[in-house]
A and B are shown apart, each in its own frame.
Chain A
Amino acid sequence: MSSNIVIDPVTRIEGHLRVEMKPTEVQTATGSWTIVDKAYCIGTMFRGIETILRGRDPRDAWFITQRICGVCPAPHGETSIQAIEAAFDVKPTPVTVLIRNILHGAYYIYDHIIHTYLLIGPELGILAKYLPMVPPALGKEGIEKLNLGSSYAQALEIQRKANEIVALWGGKFPHHQTEYPGGMTVRPTADRIASTLARMTELWSWVAKVMVRDFRSLLTANERIGEAVSTLLDIEFRGLQDLGTSTGNFLSYGLFPDHENYGDWLSLLDSPGKRESALIHAGAWDGSAKSFDLEKIAEFVKYSWYKNESGLNPKHETTPIPDKTKVEAYSWLKAPRYDNKVYEVGPLARMINTFGMKWKIPIRNPVTEEDLGYFEYGVLNPKGSVIDRVAARVALTLLIANKMFEWISELKGYMGEKVTNYRKNVKEGEGFGLWEAPRGALLHYIKIKNYKIENYQAVVPSTWNFGPRDDFGQPGPVETALEGTWLPRDVSVPEVCNIIYPEKDIDLSPIGVNEKMSWGDVLKPALEQLNLGRVNMEPVNGSEYNTSLALTVIRSFDPCIACAVHVLRKR
């Protein structure tokens, strides 16, 4: 695979990821272009968390599984606590459900903001010639005088407010500390509620005004990107909706149960359903909304370095037995499938399973009644794409920010009520937890014997998205999404920018440069000053390939590799 184009490490994700892409050349009327023929995703770090869990007190699992991932610890904790509750046969109280919704709601706002601005944002800002989302390469002066990095900088500040809410209800973030099977250790107090409201007011304003505005700016620029690339390559390319397309199947387990109807939430563990009383529904979309059926999940290992039986439900799976000699294998990830088909998980899957292909979310503050209309969006590519995934994160952030006020106000009615349905431990039991991490559907399974954990399994979002081919030969969602991605040969990031935006219209007079410049010419010295002139360029056989678009596809799935390889074995 020596002629492969390799990105290692893929940065601005969680964990250690290597991506290898086999290139191919396509000829069009305008020239010869390099695109991705086949892609391979390889996780490169393993710790063995499930092995560590065995033999421990079941109530410790939710602490330890948070440490699977420090970017999405809260969802791992929540999924784990729900699995423990199922095994303990104990239900959380309504006040617990409300507190958890508030804690995890704030967590989601943080996570989607961090991803949108710090992780995938830099490439989007540069591609869209949208200065507020480009990292603040000229420091404070650039932010103040040119708006260069203004949203990026605000995102860094505002995400802290969201995590302060997590800390109010969880003690700290990352790795909150206050859940307990059947309840919480934290109680609602007037002070906590007031502190939460104050921070939410600030967060809501920022999401409603800055985040929504920034996304609309990206959408406007998107058309321009489509036109420029179509003309240059002489292909049909509408924009970022034709980048990173997957299978069109979307899986969601649902999020944020109704505190007064937790029975609906739990029924999914026993029979197929949609969790329609929750803010985000469960479902298995394959062109239309279908109920989700836990029994239809299976993990395949034909192309993974394991000897284990292929195609089992997590409940029947055992410890992975590594087999590095397996000829057809190429990945440490398994290939989870639903009903034997490839499903994408993540924010877009959540939105589509809940609202279908057209979304309309009010931008109205329920407390201040500030009304800014609606965030309306129609999915641009039913198979999923970079822009649709970004849109889904923005939509969810707004949706959750709206809902936070309702939960806080409901919580006031439960002051002084019993928080925890206490149960210390059980001799035997087993249970599933089904929740969503920001990057997608998250499943934990626990089996308890003699008051200790006998077996623990986690099927995580990045395994769904980044897994290899399955026993039927179907490539995983990201492998599919990378195929056909353009890898500009010997064209640097600033040069690509000059191709899309040749006009000299950037006014630099506020920083004392009295000459209008083109976008690429502005970026070039700014990047070079930070030693970033060759950003995203990967050398192979004497050429340099620009991997910006490939990285954007990869990051649009918000990979979390510590999660995906937590079950893996040594190479």
Chain B
Amino acid sequence: MESLRLTRRNFMKLVSAMGASAFLTTYKADIVKAITEARDYWHIAWLNGGACTGCTISFAQASNPDLLQVLTEITVGNSGLPIVLPDYMETIHIASGTLAEGLKEKWKHGNKGKRILVVEGAVQDPGYCIIAGKDFRDHVVEAAEVADAIVAVGQCATFGGIPAAKPNPTNAKGLSEFLKEVGINKTVINLPLCPVNGEHVVITLAAVIMGAIPELDEYGRPKMFFGTNMHYELCPYRPYYDKGQFIEVPGEGEGCKYKIGCKGPITWTDCPSRKWNGNTSYCVEAGAPCIGCSEPGWPDEFSPFYNEVPSLVSAVVDPTKLGTGIFAATITGIGVHAARRTLKGGKGGEEDEQ
């Protein structure tokens, strides 16, 4: 069957309608073709700051097109060069030391094509991350100033993530917050989750190269990935919740994971439909609670991870911060007991001893 032809204009709609995985499977060839035909050579620099490198590894798990295709098949016009072979990427690049930094300079000052800056990891106070004798902050500022598009990958680069968790020893923060502070007023496409999902990266890079700028929510996240509520709109285990059938002990029985701490009700992401590692599984499918890693305020406002949502005082006190009316509706459904406990200011976790 002939599927609808992929264009700059229907790109986002199709991703939203089909889900990331089905979209990539269906339109893989179109994406490869479109990128290869892109007029300008898009140069990519992938910088790592206060990071664990998990996002790089997650990028390597993407399929359709996978990293190998990206490196070997998707070439620019007739140049023969891989279009998204990053000019700079510490974890996989062949070059080290002086040559690696030289390639980064070349990326900054080249006069051909356009530049995409990808940032992995949080931006910290001066002195906590130094590469080639220069603070990561300066690397970021210089690169952001010349970038034609900026993508923050993973929780740390978007919202500060684990390094920014209390007491935030290095004053870590997300890229967009940092850029605002230093007066660089550019749009940052935020791809949270911990780590970033590799397919989100591939689709976003493809969209940028094709000129299909993703529509972003108030936190800078593409709506096509982060516009749906995990629990309310997407969860395949939702019927258990509606029936009041809950898993009470990790690994025992069938049911909704709400009572072992699932943060689905306060989390907006396409995990249940797009899944991870080549559409293999995702946290809730493997019996684990969602820990809310796509959201600003993570991990502090989402932990203790095994505690029920209403026990997280911060979440209930400021529902607007976490999204929409869906949140209120969900909380109502959870039951009077839990809500009352929370509203009285009980701190979940204190009474958790055996």
Q: Chain A: residues with CB nearer than 8 A to chain B? A: 6-16, 18, 44-49, 51-52, 55-57, 59-60, 63-64, 67-71, 73, 114, 118, 122, 135-136, 139-140, 143, 149, 153, 156-157, 159-160, 163-164, 166-178, 180, 183-187, 195, 418-420, 422-427, 451, 529-532, 534-539, 547, 551, 562, 570-571
Q: Which residues of A contact B163 (CB under 8 A)?
A: 47-49, 52
What are 28 A-B contacts with C-beta separation under 8 Å? A8-B132, A16-B129, A46-B128, A47-B122, A47-B124, A47-B128, A49-B162, A52-B166, A52-B168, A57-B307, A57-B349, A60-B304, A60-B306, A63-B299, A136-B71, A156-B68, A164-B277, A166-B277, A167-B277, A167-B281, A169-B286, A171-B282, A172-B277, A173-B276, A178-B287, A185-B289, A532-B99, A571-B130
Distance in angstroms between the alpha carbons of A172 and B287 in the assembled complex = 12
Contact, CB under 8 Å: A186 / B98: no
Decide: B100 and A63 in contact? CB cutoff 8 A: no
Is B328 positioned at the interface, with any CB of A under 8 Å from its CB?
Answer: no
Cα distance, A180 to B306, chains bound together (Å): 10
Which residues in A have their C-beta under 8 angstroms from that of B56?
Answer: 70
Cβ-defined contact, A160 with B277, below 8 A: yes
Question: Per a CB cutoff under 8 Å, which of A56, A63, A529 touches B291?
Answer: A63
B5 to chain A, nearest CB (A): 25
Inter-chain contact B352/A171, CB cutoff 8 Å: no
B interface list, Cβ under 8 A from A? 48-58, 60-61, 63, 66-68, 71-73, 75, 80-82, 85, 87, 90-103, 106, 122, 124-125, 127-133, 136, 161-163, 165-170, 172, 194-195, 249-252, 257, 260, 276-278, 280-289, 291, 299, 303-307, 349-350, 352-354
Asked if B128 and A73 make an inter-chain contact with CB atoms under 8 angstroms apart, the answer reads no
Chain B residue contacts of A425, Cβ below 8 A? 352-354
* Cross-chain contact B128 with A8 (CB below 8 angstroms): no
**A67 CA / B94 CA spacing, docked (Å):** 25
A235 to chain B, nearest CB (A): 26
Q: Please name all residues of chain A whose beta carbon is closer than 8 Å to the beta carbon of B195 when the two chains form the complex.
A: 70, 174-175
Let me know if A172 and B353 touch, CB within 8 A.
Answer: no
Instruction: For the complex, give the distance between the alpha carbons of A114 and B92 in Å.
Output: 10
Residues in chain B near residue A423, CB distance under 8 A: 354
B283 touches A172 (CB 8 A): yes
Residues of A within 8 A of B194 (CB): 67, 175
- Given contact pairs A44-B130, A67-B162, A114-B57, a sample of 15 additional A-B residue pairs in the complex whose CB atoms are under 8 Å apart: A12-B91, A14-B52, A45-B49, A45-B50, A47-B163, A51-B169, A52-B163, A55-B166, A67-B161, A157-B66, A163-B277, A167-B280, A420-B251, A424-B354, A425-B354
A139 touches B99 (CB 8 A): no
Query: Which residue in chain B gives the minimum CB-CB distance to A551?
Result: B96
Are the CB atoms of A186 and B286 closer together than 8 Å? yes
> In the complex, what residues of A have CB within 8 A of residue B125's CB?
570
B299 touches A64 (CB 8 A): yes
- Chain B residues closer than 8 Å to A159, beta-carbon distance: 60
Does B96 contact A7, Cβ atoms closer than 8 Å? yes
Chain A: minimal CB distance from B331 (Å): 22
A171 touching B286, Cβ below 8 Å: yes
- Cβ–Cβ contact A12 & B57, under 8 A: no
Shortest CB–CB separation between residue A446 and chain B, in angstroms? Answer: 15
Q: Are A56 and B304 in contact (CB under 8 A)?
A: yes
Shortest C-beta distance, A69 to chain B (Å), equals 5
- Report Cα–Cα, A16/B49, bound state, in Å: 9
The residue in chain B whose Cβ has the minimal distance to the Cβ of A548 is: B96
A173 touches B97 (CB 8 A): no
Q: Are the CB atoms of A535 and B94 closer together than 8 Å?
A: yes
Contacts of A175 in B (CB 8 A): 54, 194-195
B354–A52 touching, CB < 8 Å = no
Contact B306 A59 (CB under 8 A): yes
Report yes or no: B54 in contact with A171, Cβ–Cβ below 8 A.
no
Q: Which single member of B61, B95, B128 contacts A11 (CB below 8 Å)?
A: B95
Chain A residues within 8 Å of B101, by CB: 9
B287 lies within 8 A of A186 (CB): yes
What CA separation (Å) do A167 and B286 show in the bound complex?
A: 8
Closest A residue to B48 by CB, please name it.
Answer: A16
Nearest chain A CB to B186's CB is how many angstroms away? 25
